[in-house]
Every structure is written in C-alpha cells, then in structure tokens.
Amino acid sequence: MVKLSAFADEVVNNFSEQIRFLVEKKIKYLEIRFVNKKNILDLTKNEVNDVKKILDENNIRISAIASHIGKVKLDEPFEKHLDKFKYAIELALLLNTKFIRIFSYYPPEGKNIDDYREEVIARMIKKLELLNNTDIILVHENESHIYGSTAERCLDLAKSINSSKFRLVYDPGNFVWGQKIVNNVEVCWPIMKPYVAHVHIKDWKLGSIDTGSIPGEGDGQIRELLQELANMNYDGFLTIEPHLKSAGQFGGETGPELFSEAVDSTVKICNEVGLKLIN
C-alpha cells in the first residue's frame, strides 16, 4: 500500500500550522525538512523533542529525514559534514523513521563531477558504516549538478555501493528541470526502478525555471509514473513537493491553496490509475 506524505514546510513556515494543514488534508506523514524556518539538522535536542510532542499529539509520523547531507562541494571539510550526518541518524531514531534522504555532492568549483566518482562512493560507504545496528536506510535523490544527477549515475551508485541500506529516491520533476528530459518515465525510470524505495511527486514544465506545476499538468509524466507504481504494487511513500511558488537549492514555497490543489490532483490520479493509498 502507498502512504501519502508531504514537504509541509512548503505550505507555511510555522510548524504547528504545517501539522494543522496535514491533519486537515488527512495526510498522516511528514517529510521533515524545515521547522519554523530552521533546518531539521540545525534543531537542538530540546527543539526536536518539542517537534516530536506535536507530531505525537496529532498522530503524524515522519516518512523521512529530508536532510541536505551530500549537498555540499567535495572540497569542503568532510568531517564537519559527517558530524551533521551523525546527528541525522540520531534524529531518525528519535523520530522513528527508517529513511534519511541524501545527495551525492557537488564537484569543486570549475571541476567535473565525473572525475570524483571514487570519492563520492567512498563517502557513501563511510556513512553506511555508521548505520550498523540500525534499521535506517539512506535514500539518494536525483538532483541537478551532483554526481547522481542522471539515472545512469544513480544506478552506478546503487550497484557499486551494493548495500540494502542504500536505495534511490525517484523525483521526476528534477529530471525535467535538471536535464530537460520530458520522457523520464520511459528513459530514467527503467534504469533506476530496481533500486527505488522512495518517490517524490514534483512536476515541472520544460523551460520553466522558477516554479513547478500541479502534478499531472507538467512534463514530469506524473500519471505515467503513478501507473508504473500501480503496476508494480509499489509499497512505500509518495511525498508531495510541488514548488509551485518558488524553488531553491534547499527547498521551495507553495502555500496552502496551491499545495491543497497538488494533493488533490495527486490523489485523483492515483485513484484513476488504481494506485491504492492508505487513508
């Protein structure tokens, strides 16, 4: 069965209001990224405990820690970044989620990311070593300009790392925005499919830079992707991340009305293609 989740920080900055929106839309999972304008990895332990209290009171669970781990240049200090990752593990355990979303690094300024393949893989393996004795899984998102920006390099990571604790996030909108691939479900999906454990619903129109589209109205082939998921009896999360007002390197803005439209459109398409959502 499929569980609907959301990047509710796109709805509103205030965390309590984020949760109120999820409750009103009957969405029981949150992909947690920003809390009151503060990145989840920058929260103190006391602040995280306050977050957990609000989540528990409203019966909202966490689909993934939407970290920005791996969204730094490879020539920036690794140990400091690794400390952030260690904190992400603590938060995943505290908030009772098995997924930490990650990325696969930008190259140093003026360099080609292809030349840093071995370094990227070595860093991923270093992270995986820290997951011993946990059920946590790293889910790597395809994103522009990082090593895993293409389906082929995402596959390379998954096959080379060869761990059940390393899986892929499939984000169709990022392929349209980042690589201008308008048939990504035919081209990218078959390559990544065996390793995909998490899906983001983000649509985009070819040529648009600043804002996304209502799911199903862009060039991201959302309907086709959801049909594929229905055909394979996908058992996991669909996390809505529409970026309908603005998009940036570390997040986006949509607002309550447009986000509600994005949710309704996604649910409608799921029903039409036979993808069953857990209520």
pLDDT exceeds cutoff 90 at 45: yes
| DSSP states of 200-237 | EE-B--TT--S--B-TTSSSS-HHHHHHHHHHTT--SE
Query: Structure pTM?
Result: 0.96
pLDDT > 90 fraction of the chain, expressed in percent and rounded: 92
Interval 228-250 mean pLDDT: 88
**What average pLDDT does the chain have?**
95
Interval 117-146 mean pLDDT: 97
In tens, the pLDDT along 65-121 reads: 999 999 999 999 999 999 999 999 999 999 999 999 999 999 999 999 999 999 999
- Phi/psi region, residue 96 (left: phi>0; alpha: psi -120 to 50; beta: rest), is left
Distance CA 137, CA 37 (A): 26
pLDDT band of residue 253 (cuts 50, 70, 90) is confident
Q: Give the bridge partners for 62, in sequence order.
A: 30
pLDDT exceeds cutoff 70 at 248: no
When comparing pLDDT for 254 and 273, which is higher? 273
In CATH, 3-273 is 3.40.50.11310: no
Q: Dig out the tokens for 42 from the structure.
A: 């920058």
pLDDT (0 to 100) of residue 15:
98
pLDDT (0 to 100) of residue 247:
57
Beta carbons of 147 and 117 less than 8 angstroms apart: yes
Residue 159: closest CA among 174, 236, 115, 151: 151
Least-confidence region, from 19-33, 72-86, 186-200, 235-249 = 235-249
Interval 19-44 mean pLDDT: 97
When comparing pLDDT for 210 and 197, which is higher? 197
pLDDT band of residue 250 (cuts 50, 70, 90) is low
pLDDT exceeds cutoff 80 at 134: yes
